Amino acid sequence: MMTTHNPFIPELNADLILRAYQAGIFPMADSADDPDIFWVSPEHRGIIPLDGLHVSKSLRKAIRTTAFETRVDSDFELTIENCATKGTERETTWINSTIRRLYGELFERGYCHTVEVWDGAEMVGGLYGIAIGGAFFGESMFHTRTNASKIALVHLVDRLNAGNFRLLDTQFLTDHLESLGAIEIPRSEYELRLAKAMEVRGDFGAWDHIAGRN
């Protein structure tokens, strides 16, 4: 069961989205064709403990042996397009035009980030989410090749650990995420973890400095 929140607001904008995340609320849409959004605060929240990601032997081998290239923040528009249209188990997507616009603005402002997996010139997997303080709020992921979204998630967790993040929010718990180490916690516990994460200043770019990148 989940509850929805409809705060009285004069205008829906990117700053409101940021405030909502910090309050434990996130936006969704009923479908891609519906321009409206609604606010969600699940009674039970999915998270991946940053020290608890399950990486199987086969996935470790895939990371070592595939020719995939992992990139960060190189193509937001294609990432969100693919999350909305590829590799989804739903008949329709909750990523509508309003969400694309607002998260595009948050990307330009440095809050929204993508982790992308490329095979040559083709993006074959990836994810995007919002980084605030010491929390990363995962929004959506996709893959068109085996293990591609898992490779993106492994890189994300490595990057969050390098940047001193404390919370990786997956919103809901799915069988796929559970197999990778995700757990479900009550809203009250999530809010405590969120409050602690907001006291920390995570550095999403720390991984690049450690790896000797620009």
Q: What is the CATH number of the domain that holds 32?
A: 3.40.630.70
According to DSSP, the residues that pair with 75 across neighbouring strands are none
User: Which bin fits 24, alpha (ψ -120 to 50), beta or left (φ > 0)?
Assistant: left
Residue 168 has pLDDT above 90, yes or no: yes
Least reliable range by pLDDT among 4-8, 99-103, 112-116, 187-191? 4-8
Segment 112-138 shows an average pLDDT of: 97
Q: Sorting pLDDT into bands at 50, 70 and 90, what band is 213?
A: low
CB atoms < 10 A from the CB of 161, how many?
16
Q: Residue 141 gets which letter from DSSP? A: E
- What does each C-alpha distance from 174 to 41, 141, 179, 183 come to in angstroms? 16, 12, 9, 9
Number of domains within the chain: 1
Residue 39 has pLDDT above 70, yes or no: yes
Q: Which domain holds residue 113?
A: 2-210
| Cβ(56)–Cβ(64) below 8 Å | no
pLDDT > 90: percent of the chain: 79
pLDDT value at residue 103: 96
pLDDT value at residue 37: 86
Cα–Cα distance, 117 to 126 (Å, whole number): 6
Q: Sorting pLDDT into bands at 50, 70 and 90, what band is 10?
A: very low
pTM of the shown model: 0.90
Residue 1 has pLDDT above 50, yes or no: no
pLDDT > 70: percent of the chain: 91
Two tokens, residue 12: 């829906």
Cα–Cα distance, 176 to 185 (Å, whole number): 17
